[in-house]
Amino acid sequence: MADDLVNITIDGHQMAVPKGTLLVEAARQIGIEIPVYCYHPKMKPVGACRVCLVEVENQRRPMMPACTTTVMPDMVVHTRSDNAVEARGAVLEFLLINHPLDCPVCDRAGECDLQDFTQKYGNGNTRFIEQKRHFAKSKQVGKNVVLDRERCIMCQRCVRFCEEIAMEEGLVIVDRGNRSEIGTFEGRSFDSKFSGNVIELCPVGALTAKTYRFESRPWEQQHYAGICNVSSLGVNITVDVRYDEVVRLRGRMNDEIDDGWLSDKCRYSHLAIHSDDRILSPMVRNDQGQLTKVSWAAALERIVQAFPENASQIGLAVGTRLSVEDGHMLLRLGRGLLKTPNVVHEHEAESLGTNTTLTGRVKGCDAADVILCLGSDPAKSHHDFELRIKKGLRNKARLICIGEQPALVGYADYQVIGVASELWSKLKKELKKETTEEESGLRFPKPRPWEAGGETSQDWDALVKEIRGAENVLVVVSGDIAGQGLQDVARDVEDLGWNTAPHGVIHLRSGVNPVGHESIGLIPEWDEDGNQALAKAWEGMNTDSGLSYAEMCRGKTEMLLAFGCNPLAQPESKKPKFLVQAATHPDETTEKADVVLPLSMWVEYNGVYISTDGTVQFNRQAILPLGEAQPAWSIARELCLRLGASDLPENPRAVYSEVGSLHAALAGATYKDFQTPGQYHWSYPQQADLGMPRPDLSAIPVKEPDMPMWMPAPLTGSTVEGAGRLHRGQTPPPVPGQRDPREIAKLLGLNHPMDRTAPPALTAGGAEKKDGYIPLRVVPSTSAEPAGPTPAGRHHEIGVGPRRRVAVPVAQTALLEASDAADNTTEDGGEE
């Protein structure tokens, strides 16, 4: 053990780190920042930019790049010595000679590594008096990626991302030397499924998003920790809000799931939030067959009156984009109060039943020997999973595709096209056969299919041999495995002995939160034994088996309430007698619905989502519901109230606690489970198996800087997360050889922004009613901030006040306030 550790000294701190650790990582461990541009923890170091130079004692060449140098026994490293400071300053001066210094119009300003490091370590001057290199200012290199070649510092992060991580055609360096620029093959557009990642990776403002250009400044934003609402992978995101508007989504590192990357499908999904066609008020179809706006009260009244006598004639269909809390309140409405057995989520047909345990996890790709795509095509359905598979391939995994012709075929070591279930039973038999054959000879490494000259093999015997030699197998199946005749795959995998987490079967579900909805029973069959607590609490609830989603879509019930789903888009669908839809955007169902309710999108309320591999995650509310929209749990609650229920939970936190007290699958769950950074992803079954105590900490992780400050970018994003970025309540550490800007300000008799007191916060209660409307509150600040002056207010105090105000009707605001106030006191108060 001790052999694997190396003793080193960095800036006088002695430490022992594992052999092979890079200096920059070692320094980070003890909180010493070494600036980096080209280095990125998820990519191979290249040592291209040299800003990370540090002084190492007793070396022939004392200045070493910290990002490519690994620790050596008894190394003595100085990051703040005169030599180191001078070297860094010199490198920065070089990097800036061709830089246009156009920070005032640059999107990156405020979260730019070049800006931050120059301010901290730069010489503050330049000796370059010659003509700078010029390029046309912006060049669209991809559908949504705009390049400013003048700002580029040639760190090659973007190039390496395309080559190493996405492993596909993308950005390259064109030309050489001082003429180098980033580009694509002549005339081709950079349209990768993952193109947005390079924008986040770029440490400067060279690569920018078309959707975000000139839209917002980082210091005007609040950042919220969210969960992607596009696929069931549960990819972690950061939701950046400018006043009341979501301006961009970025990746948020979760090593278990996304590895820090984010596919474009999710990255730009926020565009739907503020799109013009959002449904923002309740509507009822009038006698002329047109939808007309009505008040919430009128719409709900209409629904309550339409409930048929016979409860089993009511169906409740729940979209999987809704949270666990939404599902729970709808279950209460359906089974508990209306007493109908028909409460299901829209992808219930894919359910494997509650008795099957699947051990496959997304991170299982990393150490897998074989990744077996069985009749599934992750590249099409779950974009973010594709990158994880590619990571596996780079490690050691062989990719075997059986059944479908997958989009991933260029990376497959073996592929056999055919009927997945038939091929699987053939494979199973052959794997179970005892073999006496000896593995003979050395295996010469052949180039892999994705390396030039490699080929995908279709050799069945070789494939079987490959799987037989594998220890860790990850079987990837698509959502609809019953339709493919593969419903027994989990049992087979157990027989084969592959079911040790994180390997085994991973079932890529459609939708977003189907697993969450299943764990609280939104499937046709009702598990009476497992739900005794529920039956006791909701006296007289319906415990029969009900209709499937497909049956509901076919108009089997007189009345259908569709929450966040589109039943009339299903094949053979038929409109029931009375159709209610709660929706965010109009679709086929909206066209025919008798009552349409405005539904909040995921960023508009707190909620818990369970990903396809069983990871339970919390999505933080980032903005208030737009217009009159309401989250599904709240609509369900209103309906419950009108059906005579009392004692209903009043906010998502209370709903989730109720989930924890009533559902066996999530027993004991509360929002406290998510209260430490790193606990966003916390799988209940796993935790229970390990007999680990539940973490009990006191504040919901709302702000993202869960990384120590002044760290080189630990996340995908270059800067915002850590490097050089000041967050509220933090003062910059002194930089040797540099004057404190506040002192300079004092000398000049000025008031430095950092010393000013923060402007008075706009409070929730103070808003005045005007014509029956009150202006929307500013999104409540989300962290427990120290009272009084905030020393580092400089990033926040510019331009307080919403850019545009959205009016919210009083009735709804009252409703909101009630739920929110309760929500906020517990969360924002910090302590309980």
Contact predicate 589/609, CB 8 Å:
no
Partner that binds at residue 454, options ligand FES, ligand SF4, other proteins, none, CB closer than 5 to 8 Å by kind: other proteins
**What does the alpha-carbon distance between residue 65 and residue 72 come to, in Å, rounded to a whole number?**
14
What's the length of the chain? 832
169 binds other proteins (CB under 8 A): yes
d(CA 141, CA 565): 36
The type of residue at 297 is: A
Give the one entry of ligand SF4, other proteins, ligand FES, none that residue 481 binds, where binding means its C-beta sits below a cut-off of 5 to 8 angstroms depending on kind: none
Phi-psi sector, 47: left (phi>0), alpha (psi -120 to 50), beta: left
CA distance 515 to 519: 6
- By CB under 6 A, is residue 152 in contact with ligand SF4? yes
Q: Is 453 an interacting residue with respect to other proteins (CB under 8 A)?
A: yes
Using CB distances below 5 to 8 A depending on partner kind, what does residue 36 bind out of ligand FES, other proteins, ligand SF4, none?
ligand FES
**Minimum Å distance from CB 156 to other proteins?**
11
Can residue 746 be called a binding residue for other proteins (CB under 8 A)?
no
Shortest spacing between CB 42 and other proteins, in angstroms: 21
**Cβ proximity to other proteins, 152 vs 228, nearer residue:** 152
- Concatenating the DSSP letter of every residue in 444-478 gives --PPPTTSTT---B--HHHHHHHHHT-S-EEEEEE
CB of 265 to ligand SF4, least distance (A): 22
User: What's the min distance (Å) between Cβ of 183 and other proteins?
Assistant: 8
CA distance 481 to 423: 14
CB of 9 to ligand FES, least distance (A): 20
Question: Least distance (Å) from ligand SF4 to the CB of residue 159?
Answer: 6
Bridge partners of residue 474, in order along the sequence: 371, 504
Q: Which of 406, 404, 399 is nearest to 449 (CA)?
A: 399
Q: Which region among 126-134, 155-163, 264-272, 336-344 touches ligand SF4 (by CB under 6 A)?
A: 155-163
One residue of 175, 461, 831, 832 binding other proteins per CB under 8 A: 175
Find the binding residues for ligand SF4 in span 187-246 (CB under 6 A): 201-204, 206-207
Which residues from 46-65 bind other proteins, rule CB under 8 A?
Answer: none
Q: Which two tokens stand for residue 515?
A: 């697993």
Query: Which 8-state DSSP code applies to residue 160?
Result: H
Considering the complex, state which of residue 182 and residue 559 has its C-beta at the smaller distance from ligand SF4.
182
SS3 (DSSP) at 718: coil
Does the footprint of ligand SF4 cover residue 157 (CB under 6 A)? yes
Distance CA(562)–CA(150), nearest Å, equals: 52
- The token pair that represents 318 in the structure block: 């729940």
Nearest distance from residue 43's CB to other proteins, in Å?
17
Task: Determine the residue type at 321.
Answer: R
Element (H, E) at 6: strand 5-10
Residue 58's CB is within 10 A of a number of other CB atoms, namely 8
Which residue among 11, 86, 164, 168 contacts other proteins (CB under 8 A)?
168
Among 27, 53, 95, 154, binds ligand SF4 (CB under 6 A): 154
* Partner that binds at residue 182, options ligand FES, ligand SF4, other proteins, none, CB closer than 5 to 8 Å by kind: ligand SF4
**Total residues binding ligand SF4 (CB under 6 A):** 14
Residue 373 binding target from ligand FES, other proteins, ligand SF4, none, CB below 5 to 8 Å by type: none
Check binding of 446 to other proteins (CB under 8 A).
no
- Nearer Cβ to ligand SF4 (198/535): 198
CA distances from 379 to 266, 384, 389, 472, 479 (A): 14, 8, 9, 21, 14
Q: What does the DSSP assignment read for 791-827? A: TTGGGT-TT-S-SS--EEEHHHHHHHHHHHHHHHHHH
67 binds, among ligand FES, ligand SF4, other proteins, none (CB under 5 to 8 A by kind): ligand FES
Q: Which residues bind ligand FES (CB under 6 A)?
A: 36-39, 47-52, 65, 67
> Using the rule CB under 8 A, which residue among 171, 273, 654, 816 binds other proteins?
171
Q: Distance between CA atoms of 486 and 483, rounded to whole angstroms? A: 8
Query: For ligand SF4, what does the binding mask look like between residues 98 and 137, x meaning CB under 6 A?
Result: ----------------------------------------
| φ, ψ for residue 613, nearest 5 deg | -100, 20
Q: Smaller CB distance to ligand SF4: residue 211 or 425?
A: 211
Residue 141: CB partners within 8 Å, gap ≥ 6?
A: 147, 171, 182, 183, 184, 189, 190, 207
Query: Token pair 């010029």 is at which residue?
Result: 134
Contact partner at residue 52 from other proteins, ligand FES, ligand SF4, none, CB < 5 to 8 Å by partner kind: ligand FES
Using CB distances below 5 to 8 A depending on partner kind, what does residue 43 bind out of ligand SF4, ligand FES, other proteins, none? Answer: none
Tell whether the torsion through CA atoms of 528, 530, 532 and 534 is positive or negative. Answer: negative
172 scored as a contact of other proteins (CB under 8 A)? yes
685 binds, among ligand SF4, ligand FES, other proteins, none (CB under 5 to 8 A by kind): none
Q: Which does 174 bind (CB under 5 to 8 A by kind): other proteins, ligand SF4, ligand FES, none?
A: other proteins
Q: Which helix (H) or strand (E) holds 616?
A: strand 616-619
Peptide bond into 732 cis (omega under 30): no
**Token representation of residue 75:** 């190394």
Q: Binding pattern to other proteins, positions 178-207, x when CB under 8 A?
A: -----xxxxxx-------------------
Judged by beta carbon, residue 55 or residue 113, the one nearer ligand SF4 is 113
Task: Verify binding: residue 43, other proteins, rule CB under 8 A.
Answer: no
CA neighbor of 728 nearest in space, from 691, 692, 781: 781
Smallest gap from residue 212 Cβ to ligand SF4 (A): 15
Tell the burial category of 275 from Cβ atoms under 10 Å away from its Cβ (0-12, 13-18, 19+): exposed
Q: Which listed range, 175-183, 374-382, 422-430, 603-611, lies at the site for other proteins (CB under 8 A)?
A: 175-183
The residue among 648, 656, 672 whose CA lies nearest residue 818 is 648
Distances 752 to 5, 103, 104, 792 between C-alpha atoms, Å? 46, 20, 19, 10
Q: Which two tokens stand for residue 97?
A: 């000679």
- Piece in contact with ligand SF4 (CB under 6 A), picked from 153-161, 480-488, 735-743, 762-770: 153-161
Quick one: 192 or 612, whose CB is closer to other proteins? 192
Return the number of the residue (113 or 200) whose C-beta is nearest ligand FES. 113
> Least distance in Å: CB of 389 to ligand SF4?
24
Residue of 92, 95, 158, 583 interacting with ligand SF4 (CB under 6 A):
158
Give 176's contacts (C-beta < 8 A, 6+ positions apart): none
3-state secondary structure of 25: helix
> Contact positions toward ligand SF4, by CB under 6 A?
152-158, 182, 201-204, 206-207
> Contact positions toward other proteins, by CB under 8 A?
163, 168-176, 183-188, 447, 451-454
